[in-house]
Structure 1
Amino acid sequence: MNLGTYLTRSARYWPDETVLVCGERTWSYRQLDCRTNQLAAALIGRGLRPGDAVASLAWNRGELVETEFALYKAGLMRAPVNARLGRGEITHILRYAPVRVLVFDAAHREDALAAIAAAGTDCLPVPLDDVPGDDVPGDDAPSDEIPAAGPVGVPYADLLAEGTGDPVAVEVDEDEPCVLNFTSGSTGALKAAVQTFGNRLANMRKQLMSDESRPRPGTRYLACGPITHATGMGLLAGVFGGSTTHVLPAWSPEAFLETVEKERITATFLVPAMLTMVLAHPGAADRDLSSLTSLRIGGAPIAPQRLREAVALFGPIVAQGYGLGETTSVVAGLTGQDIARAVTEDPELLQSCGRAAYDTEIRVVDEAGRELGPREVGEVIVRGPDCVREYWQEPELSAETFKDGWVHTGDLAWMREDGYLFLVDRKKDMIISGGFNIYCTEVEAALYEHPAVREACVVGVPDERWGEAVKAVVVTHEGRAVTPGELIEFCAGRLDRYKKPRSVEFVPELPHNRNGKLDRKAVREPYWADAARRVN
């Protein structure tokens, strides 16, 4: 098999149609097919073979899409590096994975060169041409002394020129590794879920089977987050379907709203933190967003109140998905129809992450692996053709997570009688207070119903009597005042009283990790720093 053939076929079907837009640059299907053939041929010409990896370290830009499809064509592994990682983590990836080439932009030049030198591996530096927008405010590289002048490696344009535009389609087995998806483990060390070519093909088929979000000619998809990660998971299906992808070089709610309006975007994907920013934008209601027919939310849990607000702004087009790097992408989802119905008829459904998607199987099991009945809380396990089977070079961790064909997610949930899945917490985030299990997301959902609450994070903090006590750390909307006591009583009216926060702290902002998810560990850690007994 070869996944790059889908781009070649689409270039035959729609040669002059626009496939990619980033900033002022556009690519037709014919141009993208030709340039990816060139890059694939150049990499093969430099001796790379299946089993070798090419890493990328850059903010959003079109060359990242070129690189992805060139690697499909050449049958090579892709090792996308989160553009917000530190130098030590980049070095770890270059040592850990068989990376032969590192493609990087001007903003990451010093980190890339320092990581290559520190890793001590045979890795070719490939700097991208400087373009406006490379440097993102607030993301300056560390200032360690690294040579900053003179030629380094092979510039991307020169590497591209080494290849011809002749078709490239190296055959690979579907079980061969395609993407190393790096995520942080419980110890903080980076680990890589090995997504195979077969996993990626299965994920593409799953997206094409969705009536709501299937890409087709005329679809204009806006990629707002890093296209090397969740936001870019639809690129392969988009190319297959003949759609156009608009890549946002840098995220801001203003840029999002302006692009949707100007480019008449029809589909997009946002993580909850992005959605919160858009909903809080003072000019959001004045924008013409009528072109949107699909807005998918995913990447982290979202409060029911935020979904209501999203439907109020965008209309009944809001859908939600649940997935992990270990499942390649979405394994369950709430459709736009589900959410619209939930807003008017079935409010409990707003707390769900949906039903199993296409050919995915989902079970909720106890500690012994036995399937639980409706509304019983247990661990979510999933299986399907897009589910990963191992972590890269981590046999013990792989054995803990991947068992008998099932991915053990570490998420706690219950399933309704009609098959809708309701996540309640991560195993490690559950609060145990006086012997009672308290789920952070349930308390957060209650907090979000208060009109003054913009963002909330609930954690367990030390308590001599109960072991842990529920604490809410809250960001309020500008100009909205509320006291800790008012929020505590507000929650008490919506939850069992033992679940209400025992204390509330107001902060200007909450920490988020590199993928835009709320960083609960960073919120929780200061409260346990001096505790004699830690709850793990």
Structure 2
Amino acid sequence: MGAVRAGLNWRYSTREMMHVIRDCDARLIFIEAKCLGSLAEQVQELAAEGRVVVGFGGEHDLSLDYDRLIASHDGGFSLPTLGEDDLGAIGYTSGTTGNPKGVLLSNRNLFTSLVFNNMVNGYTKQDRRIYVTNPAGININTMCMNMITGMPTVLENFQAERFLDLIEEHRITTVTVVPTMLRRIIDDVKTGHWDVSSLRQVCYGTMPATPALIRDAYATLGCEFLNRYGVSESTGAIALLDNPGHQQALAGEFELLRSVGRAMPHADIQIRDEEGREVPRGELGLVWIGGDTIMQGYLNLPELNEKTVFGKWLKTGDFGRMDDRGYVFLGDRQHNMIVTGGFNVYPNAVENALAERKGVAEAAVFGIPHPQWGEAVVAAVTLSAGSNLTAADLDRHCRENVSKFEVPKYIVVLPELPRGNTDKVNKRALQDMLSQPGGVPWTIDKETV
């Protein structure tokens, strides 16, 4: 229809929502009734700026309602002619390192990603899908897979028992989750009564899965597994560890589960040094992504664009390496690297080591200021149901599996980890909590110096 769609995540704060609205100069805002509280006090302010706010999905006190507008329309509509390079959508990043950034996506970006992601997943109109990760960001493209295949798609916030009810009720064949969700699903299936025999495929991403989790998932769910990697700026997934790759890993090549797979057909992946030169296979460097799904740039951020976008190549900010077979192993984001006592620590490596310990559900590793070391390595951990691991147990495990300078100075066991707008762990929130003046808000179970 010619309009450019920009996602407004319901998990954003009011300040972040207003930033997004003004950053992209939204003229028409659709908001679900149950989310209206986030902007209730700003509606008049938005109207004064010439913006139209429309409510939907329940009772609300806005003057315009989506269903009533549709019912009152006469049906006449003229579609404009659009080009491949015209702007199609603006997806906003999670905002964990500042204000959410607007990612400009062309129609070519969106269509290319839809076609190739459908192809590698093997979706057909016979499939039925649940999509539970954030549909407000770039994932709107993933959410729209049904537009090409015609498969029914159920949108639902994640709650394990409700999720399993929907699989059984609608005979769902394919789902997209993150590993922490997968763990909860497996635990509930083992102790419950759900029929999940319709499932043929589970897609996951945002973090690697441990061999123990995948082995348990195969035994419990009996379907195929795909790990996909992409960033907001690449319009979705550009690398894939397919089901044969998972089987190969469980047959003995466990290291493959630490990879995000190989480049998908529509994408190029290179590992380069700080000067932008490609490094030999096996060496650590910065991940660069190329292809027709690379964003057009960030909205209103020209200086950042100059450092990030180079034609059809994107400098991601992720560290990684590529082996001789093309498998990509991610290290961590550049800004996540911890410098402690002069040593560089990549949180991903310590998180992987902790995740291998039976009884650990999830681990987040980050740095906080330390008077002696510059930064102290900190691990926040949640435990699996029934686990009684202590921080001292985890300390011993780390000392046996990572370098001495990588062993966390502090280990904190928590009931849950704070999450951001895309369901990833919000490390900035953890850092803020532990860096507060006057001490940390939790009891420190263990301190090593």
**If the length of structure 2 is used for normalisation, what is the TM-score?**
0.90
Counterpart in the other structure of 1:238: 146
Counterpart in the other structure of 1:216: 124
Residues 432 and 500 of structure 1, relative CA distance in 2, 3 Å threshold: same
Deviations 1:146-172 (A, max 9, x none): xx85xx332112221343445753211
- Unaligned runs of 5+ residues in structure 2 are 439-449
Counterpart in the other structure of 1:468: 375
Contact 2:297 2:309 in 1 (8 A): yes
Pick the aligned partner of 1:247 from 147, 155, 170.
Answer: 155
Amino acid at match of 1:453: V
Range 195-204 or range 281-290, more displaced: 281-290
CA distance in 1, matches of 2:364, 2:296: 32
Pick the aligned partner of 1:518 from 410, 420, 425.
Answer: 425
Deviations 1:385-418 (A, max 9, x none): 1110211121112112112331111111111111
What displacement does 1:376 show?
Answer: 1.1
Pick the aligned partner of 1:122 from 44, 50, 56.
Answer: 50
What displacement does 1:431 show?
Answer: 1.9
Counterpart in the other structure of 2:13: 86
- Unaligned runs of 5+ residues in structure 1 are 1-73, 132-147, 532-536
Pick the aligned partner of 2:251 from 322, 340, 344.
Answer: 344
Amino acid at match of 2:102: A
Contact 1:223 1:232 in 2 (8 A): no
Counterpart in the other structure of 2:366: 459
Contact 2:97 2:428 in 1 (8 A): no
Counterpart in the other structure of 1:55: none
Counterpart in the other structure of 1:172: 82
What displacement does 1:282 show?
Answer: 6.5
What displacement does 1:192 show?
Answer: 0.3
Deviations 1:60-117 (A, max 9, x none): xxxxxxxxxxxxxx12101110011122222222222131211112212343343343
Contact 2:186 2:221 in 1 (8 A): no
Counterpart in the other structure of 2:108: 198
Amino acid at match of 1:477: S
Range 368-377 or range 226-235, more displaced: 226-235
Amino acid at match of 2:128: R
Q: Secondary structure at the match of 2:81?
A: coil
CA distance in 2, matches of 1:436, 1:449: 24
Contact 1:376 1:414 in 2 (8 A): yes
CA distance in 1, matches of 2:177, 2:337: 26
Residues 1:109 and 2:39 are matched in the alignment: no
CA distance in 2, matches of 1:279, 1:465: 43
Q: Secondary structure at the match of 2:39?
A: helix
Q: Secondary structure at the match of 1:423?
A: strand
CA distance in 2, matches of 1:84, 1:470: 28
Contact 1:79 1:180 in 2 (8 A): yes
Q: How does 1:232-311 map to 2 (within 5 A)?
A: 232-248=140-156, 250-281=157-188, 283=190, 286-311=193-218
CA distance in 2, matches of 1:464, 1:516: 32
Deviations 1:416-460 (A, max 9, x none): 111000011111111223333222111111111222212211122
Q: Secondary structure at the match of 2:297?
A: coil
Contact 2:91 2:136 in 1 (8 A): no
Aligned-residue RMSD, C-alpha: 2.3
Contact 1:224 1:231 in 2 (8 A): no
Q: Secondary structure at the match of 1:493?
A: helix
CA distance in 2, matches of 1:306, 1:118: 49
Q: Secondary structure at the match of 2:216?
A: helix
Q: How does 1:444-455 map to 2 (within 5 A)?
A: 444-455=351-362
What displacement does 1:214 show?
Answer: 2.5
Deviations 1:142-198 (A, max 9, x none): xxxxxx85xx33211222134344575321122121111111457511210011111
What displacement does 1:526 show?
Answer: 3.4
Range 184-193 or range 213-222, more displaced: 184-193
Amino acid at match of 1:103: F
Amino acid at match of 1:193: V
What displacement does 1:328 show?
Answer: 0.6
What displacement does 1:235 show?
Answer: 4.1
Q: Secondary structure at the match of 1:296?
A: strand
Contact 1:176 1:196 in 2 (8 A): yes
Residues 516 and 187 of structure 1, relative CA distance in 2, 3 Å threshold: closer
What displacement does 1:529 show?
Answer: 4.1
Residues 454 and 514 of structure 1, relative CA distance in 2, 3 Å threshold: same
Amino acid at match of 1:215: Y
CA distance in 1, matches of 2:24, 2:412: 42
CA distance in 2, matches of 1:512, 1:129: 25
Residues 185 and 402 of structure 1, relative CA distance in 2, 3 Å threshold: farther
**If the length of structure 1 is used for normalisation, what is the TM-score?**
0.76
Range 318-327 or range 278-287, more displaced: 278-287
Counterpart in the other structure of 2:67: 157
Contact 2:91 2:138 in 1 (8 A): no
Contact 1:194 1:390 in 2 (8 A): yes
Contact 1:220 1:243 in 2 (8 A): yes
Q: Secondary structure at the match of 1:382?
A: strand
Pick the aligned partner of 2:133 from 207, 225, 248.
Answer: 225
> Paired residues, what number?
437
CA distance in 2, matches of 1:129, 1:236: 20
Amino acid at match of 1:447: L
Q: Secondary structure at the match of 2:401?
A: coil
Residues 1:75 and 2:30 are matched in the alignment: no
Range 177-186 or range 223-232, more displaced: 223-232
Counterpart in the other structure of 1:52: none
Residues 114 and 79 of structure 1, relative CA distance in 2, 3 Å threshold: farther
Residues 528 and 93 of structure 1, relative CA distance in 2, 3 Å threshold: same
Residues 226 and 202 of structure 1, relative CA distance in 2, 3 Å threshold: same
CA distance in 1, matches of 2:219, 2:140: 27
What displacement does 1:236 show?
Answer: 3.5
Pick the aligned partner of 2:343 from 408, 427, 436.
Answer: 436
Residues 299 and 166 of structure 1, relative CA distance in 2, 3 Å threshold: farther
Contact 1:95 1:121 in 2 (8 A): no
Q: Secondary structure at the match of 1:154?
A: coil
Residues 300 and 479 of structure 1, relative CA distance in 2, 3 Å threshold: closer
Amino acid at match of 2:167: V
Q: How does 1:42-53 map to 2 (within 5 A)?
A: none
CA distance in 2, matches of 1:501, 1:234: 37
Amino acid at match of 2:7: P
CA distance in 2, matches of 1:128, 1:316: 37
